[in-house]
Amino acid sequence: MIELYHSTHSTCSQKVRLCLAEKGIAWKGHHLNLRAFDQLKPEFLAINAAGMVPVLVDGDFRLAESRIINEYLEEAYPQVRLAPADPQSRARMRLWTKYSDDVATDAVKLPSFVKNIQPELQRMAPEQVRAMVAKIPDAKVRERWTNAVTRGISAADLQPSIDKLGVMVDRMDRSLSQGPWLAGDEYSLADIDIAPFVHRLIRCELFHLVEAHPRVADWYARISSRAAYAKAIPPAGSEGVQPAVV
């Protein structure tokens, strides 16, 4: 059976859980509480040296990186197809999955960090935080945490991320003027890979970006009412709740 190292509120984990749910694939979860910094424990670093979720395990095959995991699932488990048949729509889908990976993932990091991680760090003793920060393998993540701890995160620090998220929504609006889903006529990995980042805008108090674009708001209403979505993505507002096991 497929196993997934993941975290309930991690956007990249949500991408993979949504793909699994749409395909009706059963899986066993290993839940990491990112607020308790489970991702920095030696037992998880032995599974993914980058200290990041998600990680999929399929038999003796272990794979990190949410976009690549979803592509793998699409190819290895084609019974429910999540990639359009025609090459042009597939290319449009890949532009979106690449954008999710290259831009959206990074753009939500700082606004999410302010809401979800910074309050936890502020509750810890400074020396405990410094010891934790020193263990972070990724230099960019380490720098973000160091800044948060040493000088805080200002509105000016957040603005570039907010601008990028605004551009993401504008870009969605343009795609949705061509068809009901991001890659055209068919629901696909394009929608799946972007959905968690749109959902995260609610937590980051940036959902007005969506509400300003009726086509994007309509897309969000359609995707969030799918049965798979309810299985994969916890409701906005539940971010403080960390289930022991999922």
Instruction: Give the footprint of ligand GSH on this chain (CB under 6 A).
Output: 10-12, 34, 39, 51-54, 65-67, 101, 105, 141
Q: Tokens for 188?
A: 């696909």
Q: How many CA atoms lie within 13 A of 168 on its CB side?
A: 34
Residue type at 68 in one-letter notation:
I
Q: 62: which strand partners?
A: 57
User: Between residues 44 and 184, which has the closer beta carbon with respect to ligand GSH?
Assistant: 44
Contact between 109 and 144 (Cβ < 8 Å): yes
- Considering beta carbons, is residue 17 or 90 the nearer one to ligand GSH? 17
CB of residue 125 to ligand GSH, shortest distance in Å? 19
Bridge partner list, 55:
5, 64
The nearer residue to ligand GSH, 39 or 188, going by C-beta atoms, is 39
Minimum distance from residue 106 beta carbon to ligand GSH (Å): 9
Of 12 and 182, the one with the shorter C-beta distance to ligand GSH is: 12
Minimum gap (Å) between residue 178 Cβ and ligand GSH: 26
Looking at beta carbons only, is 101 or 120 nearer to ligand GSH? Answer: 101
Tokens matching residue 218: 């309509």
Residue 85 CB, nearest approach to ligand GSH (Å)? 26
DSSP state of 34: G
Taking the complex as a whole, the smallest distance from the CB of residue 215 to ligand GSH amounts, in Å, to: 26
Task: List, in sequence order, every residue forming a beta bridge with 29; answer none if it has no partner.
Answer: 4
d(CA 150, CA 160): 20
